[in-house]
Structure 1
Amino acid sequence: MSLWTSAEIAAATDGTASAGFDVTGVTFDSREVGRGDLFLALTGETTNGHRFLDQAFAQGAAGALVSEATPHPHVAVADTTAALDALGAAARARMQGKVIGVTGSVGKTGTKEALFAALDRPEPGTAHRSVKSYNNHTGVPLSLARMPRETRFGVFEMGMNHEGELAQLTRLVRPHVAIVTTIAPAHMGFFDSEAAIADAKSEIFQGLEPGGTAIVPFDSPHRDRLIAAAQPYAGRIVTFGLGDGADFRAVEQMRTRTGGTFVTARFDKRELSFTISQLGPHWVSNAMAILAAVDAVGSDLEMAGLAMAEMGGLPGRGARFLASVDGGEALVIDESYNANPASMRATLAVLAREDGRKLAVLGEMRELGDHSEAFHADLAEPIAAAGVERAILVGEAMQPLANALEGRIDFVHVPDAATALDRLNAVLAPGDAVLVKGSNGVRLSGLVAALAERQRP
């Protein structure tokens, strides 16, 4: 079954189709175009997608959404970015299943992926989610536009770094369930306080469908603030976490031999025991939010537990592999996608559990504004507590941390990821465990890719 016909695209976007065609996928990145796709020729300050139309059709595109003349099969509109929003809204309108929206300063991508796995496990192929971290003003409508019409469960990640952004996105997604994972000092360069971040994250509740469910972190200092923000929009408010009184609470937890956690969750006078394959105590709390959402949409909780036991590590967010070094192998923990003070602490706690010598390649944390120096310096204590024997600090903003670590552990401070790789290669030894984490703009993913090339076949 086609994802969209040209007639449906034209009706949704108030456009004009040049010919009849069907598409099986949607993308605005010409590098991702595959056979049968609709290519969205978006225009922006630095690029114009119309320049890549020939390339897109050479790669197999079935049609394009355009605002400039082209001989290729297309739907012509006045504004392709506005048309993308319209196509996303049309996808949401025709979908008859349940939709879950996820936001938070930390853990939203992992929670989204685990929710997708949990909802797809009972009936594979019936769930849909936003891929990668497509969580902004173009990524969210694209993820909606890619949603098959027969989808039973849709899971969408929504991000923001300014007030008002989530309000716009959530009204497009119109979730039946809205989750806030963790509030942390991310994007502090754009907000006066962590409480202001909580207010911005709580905008997700404004798009809830009538009678919808708001899911709030019980252990957060901003819990009551989030609950108050949800009350005008939610038919039901559910809390999750570890503290006594949470609606979905982890009452027992035990580390498994593979590093995951065996958990017993209690909710509504029921209990469920299952294993979380993902590493770190923060995943225990995330799992409670996942169970709350699965319960809210009426899916299978036992299957959700199985799905969380089967999940592998996510690239850039906890994926693990062994890299060959002279005389053996070293463990690489890939947390290279992004970083803020809370996620740095959480992943350092994961590193602390590993055997062998512990190394950390840590890139600077961005968008922290006037708080940047203090937040970087404050990482000295969790680094020491994790037992890190050698740290490689990457980026100019790491200078306060370098000052704080002086005389405490062995470290070097380097300007970029390429230099960090050279320094790591010089010291990496068999049996080492190395954590790689930093803001995405530091480009530590390239360092990880270089290490991944050294995996044994």
Structure 2
Amino acid sequence: MSELWSSHEIAEATGGAVSAPFAVSGVAFDSREVTDGDLFVAMPGETTDGHRFVDKAFAQGAAGAIVSQAVDHPHILVPDSAAALEALGKASRKRMTGKVIGVTGSVGKTGTKEALFLALDRAEPGTVHRSVKSYNNHVGVPLSLARMPRGSAFGVFEMGMNHAGELAALTRQVRPHAAIVTAIAPAHIEFFGTEAKIAEAKAEIFEGLEPGGTAIIPYDSPHVAILYNKAERHAARVLTFGMSPDADVCALETVPAPGGGTLVTARLPQAELCFTVAAPGDHWVSNALAVLAAVEAVGGDLAAAGLALAEMPGLPGRGERRSVAVAGGAALVIDESYNANPLSMAATLKQLGRETADRRIAILGGMRELGDRSAELHAGLAAPMSDGGVDYAILVGAEMAPLADALAGAMPYAHVPDTASAIPLIQTEMRAGDAILVKGSNGIGLSRLIAALEQATRDGDKN
């Protein structure tokens, strides 16, 4: 077990008092995720208090805890456990001597973060740390920092926000050497009013750049000027990426690759690279260009990055492709169930149109946090669905009513109130040779539909 923190170091970082010496190999704030050797951070939540689960955490193998009330286990006693976690994250960042990359954006930030991890790890295995899942908020970012092993050569951290000022606080904890904005879309527009305001909030990531740092921004974005103006004030260098030949990192040529990916010839400031992006879709080509820009900015191995992009598997909920057994063969299910906004919906529907299939089916869940533009933006998906050659649609949730109205007479569809209603419908409807896109905001719960289809396949294998 590799020591991540000693009790002395934790106390020094947080200003807490040690009850008894201990050492930990990991950090967790959810008792369900605690494994042997972890530090459990007991924090009050919206519905419960982590101190109620201290005994459970130690039963699962915790070696120590950060608490704001004394417990009968080895611990660090602090006035505020949430503030202590943030302090521990800052201490981890302070002792890190490698290069750090921050990633934000309305679309593609988790996928880009994962691709960056693989690209850097391909050249230096075991030396790269990244935030897991979508731990990108005021709790997830300090947790991800606190988990960073000693001596990491690279750290890759995702940062999210739904209000102005949130990224400014997070990026000053991460202090990246390179900061990426992937794309701007009307995600969380309910809280901002306009996409321009979203771009301004995303550009806060550049405020935390280390001296000499690089800002990496999407050249093809209609908000590139907002991002560029902010980047210039905080970055020593600004790199743009995109499909335009005027971008600093651009795709000179793209050709469909066998298996659904894309063969790309890219130009960078100091190199030209031919590589394959395993994940299908133009949006993944854009993500890959951002990855290459970041690898170049922190002195990574571009050739190894190209190999990693060719090997990258699909992520559950974010493009993973599954073969589901049905009578007479199998159907392709494209799992985009984790999240959705108008830009990502359009991108994945466009890719669905490129799939070789007997029928193309779109199972679309409502998009959340669109405010008073919700009806307009949902109805606006009719055009991308038509362009994507959708043959049949299942629309899930009340938010989808405007799209149902827009599709009336244009294509066959069903509009159901929830995921539970959609599951038996698609199980009855799907046939061999179908390509089925499943996409919606996480709150709609379309991941349960994916799980039901997988379970049906497993049950079929047993028979």
TM score, norm. by length of structure 2: 0.97
For residues 103 and 395 of structure 1, the distance between their equivalents in structure 2, rounded to whole angstroms, comes to: 28
Matched with 2:184 is 183
- Partner deviation per Cα, 1:308-359 (whole Å, 9 max, x = no partner): 0000000100001111122221111100000000000011111111122111
Give the letter for the 2:402 counterpart: P
Matched with 2:413 is 411
Alignment counterpart, residue 381 of structure 1, candidates 380, 383, 395: 383
For residues 389 and 167 of structure 2, the distance between their equivalents in structure 1, rounded to whole angstroms, comes to: 39
1:433 aligns with 2:422: no
Matched with 2:341 is 340
Give the letter for the 1:32 counterpart: E
Matched with 1:163 is 164
For residues 282 and 387 of structure 2, the distance between their equivalents in structure 1, rounded to whole angstroms, comes to: 16
1:449 aligns with 2:451: yes
For residues 285 and 430 of structure 2, the distance between their equivalents in structure 1, rounded to whole angstroms, comes to: 31
2:51 partner SS: helix
- Partner deviation per Cα, 1:411-432 (whole Å, 9 max, x = no partner): 1111111111111111111111
Are the structure 2 counterparts of residues 269 and 210 from structure 1 closer, same or farther at C-alpha, using a change threshold of 3 Å?
closer
Per-residue deviation at 1:455? 3.7
2:386 partner SS: helix
Are the structure 2 counterparts of residues 269 and 20 from structure 1 closer, same or farther at C-alpha, using a change threshold of 3 Å?
closer
- Partner deviation per Cα, 1:49-100 (whole Å, 9 max, x = no partner): 0111111111111111101121011111100000010010011000000000
- Partner deviation per Cα, 1:28-55 (whole Å, 9 max, x = no partner): 1111111111111010231100111111
For residues 323 and 272 of structure 1, the distance between their equivalents in structure 2, rounded to whole angstroms, comes to: 36
- Partner deviation per Cα, 1:174-222 (whole Å, 9 max, x = no partner): 0000111101111110012111000000000000001100011111111
Matched with 1:361 is 363
Residues 321, 455 of structure 1: 8 Å contact kept: no
TM alignment of 1:34-433, pairs within 5 A:
34-268=35-269, 270-354=271-355, 355-433=357-435
Per-residue deviation at 1:269? 5.2
2:234 partner SS: coil
2:238 partner SS: strand
Per-residue deviation at 1:149? 1.1
Unaligned segments of structure 1, at least 5 residues: none
For residues 95 and 30 of structure 2, the distance between their equivalents in structure 1, rounded to whole angstroms, comes to: 25
For residues 120 and 163 of structure 1, the distance between their equivalents in structure 2, rounded to whole angstroms, comes to: 33
- In angstroms, what is the RMSD of aligned CA positions? 0.9
1:337 partner SS: coil
- Partner deviation per Cα, 1:113-136 (whole Å, 9 max, x = no partner): 000000111111000100010000
Are the structure 2 counterparts of residues 269 and 138 from structure 1 closer, same or farther at C-alpha, using a change threshold of 3 Å?
closer
Give the letter for the 1:248 counterpart: V
1:137 partner SS: coil
Per-residue deviation at 1:385? 1.5
Unaligned segments of structure 2, at least 5 residues: none
For residues 70 and 418 of structure 2, the distance between their equivalents in structure 1, rounded to whole angstroms, comes to: 43
Per-residue deviation at 1:265? 0.5
For residues 433 and 18 of structure 2, the distance between their equivalents in structure 1, rounded to whole angstroms, comes to: 60
For residues 455 and 68 of structure 1, the distance between their equivalents in structure 2, rounded to whole angstroms, comes to: 49
Residues 245, 251 of structure 2: 8 Å contact kept: no
Residues 20, 75 of structure 2: 8 Å contact kept: yes
Residues 128, 155 of structure 1: 8 Å contact kept: yes
Give the letter for the 1:53 counterpart: V
Residues 136, 158 of structure 1: 8 Å contact kept: yes
Per-residue deviation at 1:164? 0.3
- Count of aligned positions: 457
Per-residue deviation at 1:268? 2.2
TM score, norm. by length of structure 1: 0.99
Give the letter for the 1:298 counterpart: G
Give the letter for the 2:422 counterpart: A
1:215 partner SS: strand
Which range moved further: 433-442 or 267-276?
Answer: 267-276
Residues 128, 154 of structure 1: 8 Å contact kept: yes
Per-residue deviation at 1:433? 1.1
- Partner deviation per Cα, 1:206-243 (whole Å, 9 max, x = no partner): 00001100011111111111111111110111111111
For residues 29 and 356 of structure 1, the distance between their equivalents in structure 2, rounded to whole angstroms, comes to: 45
For residues 358 and 82 of structure 2, the distance between their equivalents in structure 1, rounded to whole angstroms, comes to: 51
For residues 447 and 52 of structure 1, the distance between their equivalents in structure 2, rounded to whole angstroms, comes to: 31
1:156 partner SS: strand
